[in-house]
Amino acid sequence: MMGFLRTITTSTLGKYTHGGGALSEEEHRFYEVNGYIIRKNNVSDALLDEIGTRFVDICNGKIDVGMEIRLVKDASLKQKVVKGVNSVRKVQDCLHDDIFSKYVSDPAVTDIVTSIIGPNITAIHCMLLNKPLDANPNSSMDPLHQDLHGFPFRPPERIVASWTALENVDKDNGGLYMVPGTHTLELQPHDYFEWLRKSVSCHYADSNCLM
Ligand SMILES: O=C(O)CCC(=O)C(=O)O
């Protein structure tokens, strides 16, 4: 793993982070080398509970989500009649939902985002991922991936994602896996991994990014 980590020198510090703001000097350095930072208990429990309740209400059809939000069903359940929260793998494109937008614009998140990509930010994609513990083990195999495979805009160092678990997670039950230093590499082929839990995430880009 260490083999491909870049050496951070005074001249390279600042390539992947804007500087100042909500990150300490140490966090900036850590991000430059590893491509991520972890902040525990950063988003309030109240907001995470609201998002969890919103998810249940959306899945149970209590809320009309309109045309923008898509509910992605679990592929393993295609042939079965399963309803409610266990049938929905992903709430996709919920950027403008009344509750999800609170997460997207939460200063606890955006202050860190601006420290990384600068103050001129655009939220481009928000989703909730769900995999209940009792789901079919083959149901939610998500690849380890680089988001740049899916984003047409560049440059990569002006794009960042925030990811927040809605439930307690550790390495065994579904924490997000990250391969340190891969933000410095070219795009890599995908591999597969299994995750179990609920999370909400949002991707942000510097508004000056180009297609
Ligand atoms: O939570 C996951 O399993 C993956 C999240 C992800 O790929 C993302 O937020 O871009």
Domains and CATH numbers, the chain: 40-172+187-206 (2.60.120.620)
Residue 159: predicted pLDDT: 97
Residue 176: predicted pLDDT: 85
Q: Would you mind telling me the total number of residues written for the chain in this entry?
A: 211
* Torsion 84-87-90-92 (CA) sign: negative
Q: What is the Cα–Cα distance from 139 to 164, expressed in whole angstroms?
A: 21
Q: How far is ligand 1, taken at its centre, from the CA of residue 9, in Å? A: 30
Q: Is the CB of 129 under 6 A from ligand 1?
A: yes
CB count within 10 Å of CB 83 equals: 11
Q: Report which ligand 1 atom has the smallest distance to the Cα of 199.
A: 1
Residue 83: predicted pLDDT: 79
Q: Mutation test of ligand 1: which of 201, 202, 204 has the most ligand atoms closer than 8 Å to its C-beta?
A: 201
Q: Is the CB of 176 under 6 A from ligand 1?
A: yes
Q: How distant is the alpha carbon of residue 21 from its chain centre?
A: 21
Q: Is the CB of 173 under 6 A from ligand 1?
A: no
Q: Is the CB of 195 under 6 A from ligand 1?
A: yes
Sequence-distant (6+) residues with CB within 8 A of 197 are 129, 131, 165, 166, 167, 169, 173, 174, 175
Residue 5: predicted pLDDT: 35
Q: How far is ligand 1, taken at its centre, from the CA of residue 201, in Å? A: 7
Residue 4: predicted pLDDT: 33
pLDDT along the chain (211 residues), means of 10: 35 78 93 96 97 96 91 77 83 96 98 96 95 59 81 95 92 83 89 67 95 86
* This prediction's pTM: 0.88
Please name the residue whose Cα sits nearest to atom 10 of ligand 1: 147
Residue 2: predicted pLDDT: 27
Phi-psi region of 19 (alpha: psi -120 to 50; beta: other; left: phi over 0): left
